[in-house]
């Protein structure tokens, strides 16, 4: 079965949510204490699929051919780096589920949902995710927007085919590289004197802009700015280059007003992620990298969020506010 | 506690199951929204799976396993009592705005999120101020987060922010650039909202058309399902005052209710209903549907129009004391503009109603309102403009011209009428057939 046939089938499937991006409201969770974010009929969270059900089809319910088509759809929207990142995160969730969890974390629970009709000019959205992944990709003509997106890992390091995989390693290592490059005065600006134990703008905070803190990039030299962009590219570059290029331009345009803030140790053990929180915030971007210290080793469990406070769910393209 | 668990984990004493959820901590994340005159806050509380039972027990005062609305409310008030919001060292009174609870089952799993919204008035005075937010709720088990949104009001700047290690203490410096004293600030807010109200009516063709259409048959008497004869000037005036007052009471009520967030309705159905209200009053102007009960109809439809006014008020995006001022100013602006329009059209209408041309005028006006309202209904249901609704919109830009035309034609009609009187005196009462 070809990709387009698969898309048509799911789009027509009554089990799939109707409506499209820009359906109703702007990305806030509905009342009732739901720990996730809803936009129209799309739902994502950093909780397991059994706790917060994502609308769409679970990979575990698909035939091999259908599952391949789903992954192929994803592959065509993402860059090779982004696709590999998705596979690494899925592998981590699968590894967690194999330790025997009472909740749904593994690959079989990963869910693909299509919102709106796939179209050449009208906006439509693909949501793909599971326990530690919430990709929301809105396609509007030649534009592709991947905000908001949640990535995460637990365990952050696992074995695949006899090799060790460290998930979100670049997000961790590149940020430490930037921190290392800062001088004493800059570090004083960048490092927050308090603990940040969770995402501030996680699920349910679409469109919010908090008062920024940390070191402003206008006080960085060119090399440091390049390193900052390098960190951002780990999120902005998940989508294929036709979408990632314009996105990086938006980020660069606001770079001087972009802040880098850090909380936690300034070093990490080689081969492991650190336990430090960091945040990048600019006019068009929010990134948070938040190691989760929930009763375990925070270097083995991380949540990250990636947003554009002015264009979550591509509201700029579909006219919804 | 985190450190103890980590140490235990090193010795393999803690199983690794259920690692996905917050375990031994009670997360309390607060986002403050600071605007001139008020602070709004949303606080999300997520008890971890290991502490959830204790938290639930502390809320469930009658131990029946159910968190009743009353228990939820009392818990929310208890949380508020553990918070402190201070401006320059003075404690501000916190008002609970809303409480949302998850199911007990979700809380037990560590995936339930309690959401509290609260607000406080912020005496707005020129210069720099220190705002302090402290959270000491369940300090033994809690993890705190607190942040402020960038203010919508560009005159308000948030400057230095500082926190203690665990964020139970947060301080932010507020600087109001170009702000004025508390008193004149309030006056400027009132004036701003007043102008918005005036503009809203001046540009709100639909509200005006509804009112004018409802006034069309006011000088007439309904007999046996038809408009017959006319009533005295005094009765007409009384009737018009009653209709306008009833409309005002209706829309003031819902404007106030939704202005303070007590009623919230999606705008599309409200806008459709407004168009329907015009259609109903247009039909009534042709054939009496509810003679003598115009005031009740005006009041009921006023309720709907008020909801729409409130959404215009939301453009101001203000809260607290400033919100009260805005609702007041906005409503005053609406009334003044409404009265101005009635005052301008009323004499012409009364004059015209003393002539035999009034019947034709009334039918024409009502038919126009019928067409306009139908065009608006279609536009608002489909959510896209049509040629008729666009035509009416451009016609409405010439409001002054329309008023002049009305005045001139009523004067002309009166003069022709005067000549008729010479020909056939005493027949005026039979003109409305």
Contact A275, A293 (CB under 8 A): yes
Asked if residue B5 has pLDDT above 80, the reply is no
pTM score, two decimals?
0.63
Q: What's residue B177's pLDDT?
A: 65
Rounded mean pLDDT, A95-101: 87
Q: What's residue B278's pLDDT?
A: 92
In terms of CA atoms, which chain A residue is nearest residue B143?
Answer: A197
Give per-residue burial for A38-57: e unless 16+ CB within 10 Å, then b.
Answer: bbbbbbbbbbbbebbebbbb
User: What average pLDDT does chain B have?
Assistant: 81
Token look-up 């936690």 returns A264
pLDDT digits (tens, 9 = 90+) for B263-276: 777 778 888 999 99
* Band (B255; pLDDT cuts 50, 70, 90): confident
Residue B249 has which token pair? Answer: 């009471």
Residue A231 has which token pair? Answer: 């960190």
Q: What's residue B318's pLDDT?
A: 55
Asked if residue B14 has pLDDT above 70, the reply is no
Q: How far is CA A176 from CA A260, B21, B425, in A?
A: 12, 27, 100
Q: Which residues make Cβ contacts (< 8 Å) with residue B94, sequence separation at least 6?
A: B80, B83, B85, B118, B119, B120
Q: Which residues make Cβ contacts (< 8 Å) with residue A258, sequence separation at least 6?
A: A216, A217, A228, A251, A280, A281, A282, A283, A285
* Band (A241; pLDDT cuts 50, 70, 90): very high
Test A301 with B100 for CB contact under 8 angstroms. no
CA distance B82 to chain A (A): 21
Out of B17, B112, B164, the one facing A33 most closely (by C-beta) is B112
Pick among A35, A99, A277, A295 to test the B interface (most B CBs inside 10 A): A295
CA trace torsion A66, A167, A176, A266 (10° rounding): 140
pLDDT digits (tens, 9 = 90+) for B32-44: 999 888 999 999 9
Test B100 with A31 for CB contact under 8 angstroms. yes
Higher pLDDT, A135 or B192: A135
Higher pLDDT, B411 or A277: A277
Q: What angle do CA A142, A144, A148 make, to 5 degrees?
A: 160
Write down the domain spans for chain B.
2-179, 183-422
Asked if residue B182 has pLDDT above 80, the reply is no
* Band (B126; pLDDT cuts 50, 70, 90): low
Rg of chain A over CA atoms, in angstroms?
19
Residue A10 has which token pair? Answer: 């799911």
Residue A40 has which token pair? Answer: 């129209």
Q: Alpha carbon B227 to chain centroid distance?
A: 37
Q: Say whether A172 sits in a helix, a strand or coil.
A: helix
Contact B144, B167 (CB under 8 A): yes
User: What average pLDDT does chain A have?
Assistant: 87
Return residues 199-258 of A near B (CB < 8 Å): 200, 204-205, 208-211, 213
Q: How many CB pairs under 8 A join A and B?
A: 121
Contact A253, A277 (CB under 8 A): no
Q: What's residue B267's pLDDT?
A: 75
Residues comprising chain B, all counted: 433
Rounded mean pLDDT, A116-143: 92
* Band (A305; pLDDT cuts 50, 70, 90): very high
Query: Could you give phi then psi for residue B215, rounded to 5 degrees?
Result: -80, -20
Rg of chain B over CA atoms, in angstroms?
30
Asked if residue B15 has pLDDT above 60, the reply is no
Q: Is B205 left (phi over 0), alpha (psi -120 to 50) or beta?
A: alpha
Token look-up 């990250």 returns A304
Query: B85 forms bridges with which residues in the sheet?
Result: B133
Residue B325 has which token pair? Answer: 């001022």
- Report d(CA A15, CA A18) in Å as an integer: 9
Half-sphere exposure of B50 (CA within 13 A, CB side): 17
Test B19 with A296 for CB contact under 8 angstroms. yes
Return residues 14-43 of B near A (CB < 8 Å): 14, 16-25, 27, 29, 31
* Band (A19; pLDDT cuts 50, 70, 90): very low
Q: Could you tell me which of A219, A135, A121, A228 has the C-alpha nearest to residue A175? A: A228
pLDDT digits (tens, 9 = 90+) for B226-252: 787 777 878 888 888 888 889 989 988
Contact A72, A128 (CB under 8 A): no
Out of B24, B106, B150, the one facing A211 most closely (by C-beta) is B150
pLDDT digits (tens, 9 = 90+) for A245-263: 999 999 999 999 999 999 9
Residue B57 has which token pair? Answer: 């027990």
Out of A52, A194, A295, the one facing B24 most closely (by C-beta) is A295
Q: What's residue A61's pLDDT?
A: 95
Q: What's residue B179's pLDDT?
A: 42
Whether B356 and chain A come into contact, CB under 8 Å, resolves to no
* Band (B370; pLDDT cuts 50, 70, 90): very high
Q: A76-80, A244-248, B295-299: which range is least confident on average?
A: B295-299
- Report d(CA B339, CA A289) in Å as an integer: 58
Pick among A194, A203, A254, A259 to test the B interface (most B CBs inside 10 A): A194
Contact A166, A156 (CB under 8 A): yes
Pick among A201, A211, A307 to test the B interface (most B CBs inside 10 A): A211
Query: Could you give phi then psi for residue A33, rounded to 5 degrees?
Result: 70, 30
- Report d(CA A20, CA A11) in Å as an integer: 11
* Band (B1; pLDDT cuts 50, 70, 90): very low
Q: How far apart are the first and last CA of chain A?
A: 37
Whether B168 and chain A come into contact, CB under 8 Å, resolves to no
């Amino acid at each position: 079965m070809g990709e387009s046939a698969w898309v048509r089938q799911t789009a027509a499937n009554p089990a799939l949510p109707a409506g499209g991006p820009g359906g109703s409201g702007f990305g806030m969770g509905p009342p009732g204490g739901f720990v996730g974010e809803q936009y129209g009929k799309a739902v994502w969270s950093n909780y397991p699929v059994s706790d917060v059900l994502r609308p769409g089809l679970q990979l575990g319910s698909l035939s091999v051919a259908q599952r391949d088509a789903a992954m192929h759809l994803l592959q065509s929207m993402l860059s090779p780096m982004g696709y590999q990142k998705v596979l690494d995160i899925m592998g981590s969730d699968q590894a967690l589920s194999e330790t025997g969890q009472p909740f749904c974390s593994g690959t079989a629970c990963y869910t693909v949902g299509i919102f709106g009709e796939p179209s050449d000019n009208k906006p439509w959205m693909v949501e793909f995710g599971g326990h530690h992944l919430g990709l929301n990709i809105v396609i509007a003509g030649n534009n592709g927007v991947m905000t908001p997106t949640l990535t995460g890992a637990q365990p952050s390091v696992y074995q695949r085919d006899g090799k060790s995989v460290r998930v979100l390693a670049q997000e961790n290592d590149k940020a430490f590289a930037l921190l290392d490059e800062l001088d004493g005065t800059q570090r004083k600006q960048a490092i927050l004197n308090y603990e940040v134990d969770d995402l501030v703008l996680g699920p349910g905070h679409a469109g919010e802009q908090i008062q920024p803190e940390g070191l402003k990039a206008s006080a960085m030299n060119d090399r440091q700015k390049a390193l900052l962009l390098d960190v951002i590219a780990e999120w902005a570059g998940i989508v294929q280059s036709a979408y990632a290029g314009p996105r990086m331009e938006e980020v660069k345009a606001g770079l001087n007003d972009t802040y880098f803030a850090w909380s936690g140790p300034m070093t990490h053990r080689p081969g492991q992620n650190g336990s430090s929180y960091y945040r990048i915030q600019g006019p068009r971007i929010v990134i948070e990298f938040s190691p989760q210290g929930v009763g375990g080793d925070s270097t083995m469990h991380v949540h990250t969020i990636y947003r554009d406070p002015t264009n979550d769910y591509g509201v700029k393209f579909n006219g919804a506010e | 506690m985190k450190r103890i668990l980590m140490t235990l984990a090193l010795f393999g004493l803690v199983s690794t199951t259920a690692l996905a959820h917050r375990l031994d901590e009670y997360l309390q994340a607060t986002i403050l929204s600071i605007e001139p005159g008020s602070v709004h806050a949303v606080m999300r509380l997520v008890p971890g799976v290991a502490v959830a039972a204790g938290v639930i027990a502390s809320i469930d005062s009658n131990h029946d396993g159910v968190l009743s609305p009353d228990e939820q409310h009392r818990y929310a008030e208890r949380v508020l009592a553990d918070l402190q919001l201070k401006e320059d060292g003075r404690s501000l009174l916190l008002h609970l705005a809303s409480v949302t609870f998850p199911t007990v089952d979700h809380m037990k799993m560590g995936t339930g999120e309690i959401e509290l919204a609260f607000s406080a008035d912020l005496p707005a005075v020129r210069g720099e101020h220190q705002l302090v937010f402290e959270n000491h709720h369940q300090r033994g088990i809690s993890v705190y987060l607190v942040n402020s949104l960038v203010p919508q009001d560009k005159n308000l700047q948030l400057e230095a922010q500082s926190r203690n290690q665990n964020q139970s203490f947060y301080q932010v410096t507020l600087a109001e650039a170009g702000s004025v004293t508390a008193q004149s600030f309030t006056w400027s807010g009132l004036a701003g909202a007043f102008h918005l109200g005036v503009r809203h009516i001046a540009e709100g063709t639909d509200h005006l058309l509804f009112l004018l259409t409802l006034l069309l048959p006011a000088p007439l008497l309904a007999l046996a399902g038809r408009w017959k004869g006319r009533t005295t000037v005094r009765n007409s005036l009384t009737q018009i005052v009653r209709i306008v007052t009833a409309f005002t009471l209706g829309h003031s009520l819902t404007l106030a209710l939704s202005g303070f967030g007590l009623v919230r309705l999606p705008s599309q159905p409200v806008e459709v209903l407004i168009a329907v209200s015009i259609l109903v009053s247009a039909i009534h102007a042709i054939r009496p549907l509810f003679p003598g009960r115009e005031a009740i109809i005006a009041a009921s439809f006023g309720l709907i129009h008020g909801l729409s006014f409130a959404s215009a008020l939301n453009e101001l995006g203000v809260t607290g004391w400033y919100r009260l001022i805005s609702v007041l100013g906005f409503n005053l602006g609406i009334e003044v503009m409404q009265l101005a329009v009635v005052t301008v059209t009323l004499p012409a209408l009364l004059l015209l109603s003393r002539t035999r041309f009034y019947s034709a005028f009334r039918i024409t006006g009502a038919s126009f309102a019928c067409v306009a309202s139908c065009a608006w209904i279609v536009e608002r249901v489909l959510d896209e403009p049509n040629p008729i609704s666009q035509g009416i919109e451009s016609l409405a830009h010439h409001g002054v011209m329309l008023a002049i035309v009305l005045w001139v034609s009523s004067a002309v009609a009166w003069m022709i009428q005067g000549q008729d009187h010479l020909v056939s005196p005493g027949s005026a009462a039979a003109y409305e057939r």
